[in-house]
Amino acid sequence: MNPELLKEVQNKTLDVAKEFKRVCEKYNLRYFMSCGTLLGAVRHKGFIPWDDDMDFYMPRSDYEKLVELDRKDCENGTHEVFDKKFIFKHWEKTPNYIWNFGKIEDTTTTCIESTLAENKVKYKGGLGIDIFILDGGGNDILKAQEQFKNLTKYANRRYEKYWKPTVSDRNKFPIKQIKQTILDIRSKLLFQPVLDYFKNKTQRECLKYDFDHSEIIASAFVLCVYPNATHYLKDFIPSIMLEFEDTKFPAPNNYKTYLERLYGDYMTPPPIKERTGHMPYYINLDLPFEEYDPPYLVK
């Protein structure tokens, strides 16, 4: 992505984040910067120079409150929660929505993720931010690890509906071929009732431990990317405010330990060859995503 476009993407993404902040403050909802956004705040006081997105955490109880506020707003046809320029997307609301977390998007833009285009997912979206859900895992580390393993497993079934899972090359013939055949069959059997089953399993499992009464917390999705991203409630609450570009967002109070778990020596930037953003399949900051006609979908 050329520097001029990247800067424009960052500015518009920040606008979405500011809208999220406004809504959370209006309705007294808790949230925190996470992953690369928190790293950017600490190391650069804003965006990592080559990054093009923003990530946040919300405790599940606050996330569900946001879902309910948005649901009532949509039913009433009003824009008392989010401004009409923005849309909140999640499993319960958005057709063909894959992720087990929410997104807030700018409806006046188009941004198609490469993974969705490559797998011909019938989903269109705009530039936005990710809202990862923080769940409680209780007070025992082994039980918490099992809890988050289950939440991740159930959520991953939905992903298999939309793109073909592949077996690692570490599996040799004929084990690899056998495992791949099993995955292919399982993916084809993921009809809507099966997807609903795993969604309900996720919803029941996440209620097993309350966030505010758990010493151990995590986001199942973030654990897929960062296996060490299991944290302690005391490191998050109370939150602190950190600078990010021309504003401030809440962050875990023990952000140093958080960043060390994910990135190790987080103050040292990676080698130049590794400084890349998410590289979307298609991006147009002047085209509302509803007007986009994906060439990868069968007409």
**pLDDT tens, residue by residue, 80-89:** 999 999 999 9
Pick from 7-16, 55-64, 110-119, 287-296: least confident = 110-119
By residue count, the chain amounts to: 299
Q: How many domains does the chain have?
A: 1
Q: Which residue range forms the structural domain that includes residue 262? A: 3-154+210-291
pLDDT digits (tens, 9 = 90+) for 215-271: 999 998 898 888 899 999 999 999 999 999 999 999 999 999 999 999 999 999 888
* Bridge partners (DSSP) listed for residue 132: 57
Instruction: Report yes or no: 220 and 135 within 8 Å, Cβ to Cβ.
Output: yes
Q: Which two tokens stand for residue 257?
A: 């330990």
Percent of the chain scored above 90 by pLDDT? 62
Helix or strand (DSSP H, E) at 243 = strand 240-244
Amino acid at 254: N
135 domain-assigned:
yes
Query: Tokens 């309910």 belong to which residue?
Result: 68
Residue 299 has pLDDT above 80, yes or no: no
Q: How far apart are CA 101 and CA 293, in angstroms?
A: 25
Residue 118 has pLDDT above 90, yes or no: no
- More confident site: 151 or 132: 132
Radius of gyration of the chain (CA): 19
Q: Read off the pLDDT of each residue in 21-43 and give the average, rounded to a whole number.
A: 97
| Residue 189 pLDDT level (bands cut at 50, 70, 90) | low
pLDDT recorded at residue 190: 58
Pick from 15-24, 83-92, 191-200: least confident = 191-200
CA 120 vs. chain centroid, Å, equals 20
CA 157 vs. chain centroid, Å, equals 16
Nearest to 134 by CA among 243, 248, 210: 210
Most confident among 50-54, 197-201, 221-225, 284-288 (mean pLDDT): 284-288
Instruction: Report yes or no: 38 and 45 within 8 Å, Cβ to Cβ.
Output: no
pLDDT digits (tens, 9 = 90+) for 133-148: 999 999 999 999 999 9
Helices (H), the chain: 3-26, 35-44, 60-76, 114-118, 141-162, 175-188, 192-205, 220-225, 255-263
Q: Which two tokens stand for residue 42?
A: 């600490």
pLDDT recorded at residue 298: 73
What spatial distance separates the first Cα and last Cα of the chain, rounded to whole Å? 29
279 domain-assigned:
yes
pLDDT recorded at residue 191: 58
Coil/strand/helix, residue 232: strand
Distances (CA, A) of 191 to 50, 81, 180, 267: 39, 34, 19, 46
176 domain-assigned:
no
Buried b (16+ CB within 10 A) or exposed e, 258-272: bbebbbeebeeeeee
Read off the pTM.
Answer: 0.88
Tell me the pLDDT of the chain averaged across its residues. 89
Q: Is the peptide bond before 250 cis (omega within 30 degrees of 0)?
A: no
Helix orientation angle between 3-26 and 60-76, rounded to the nearest 10 degrees: 90
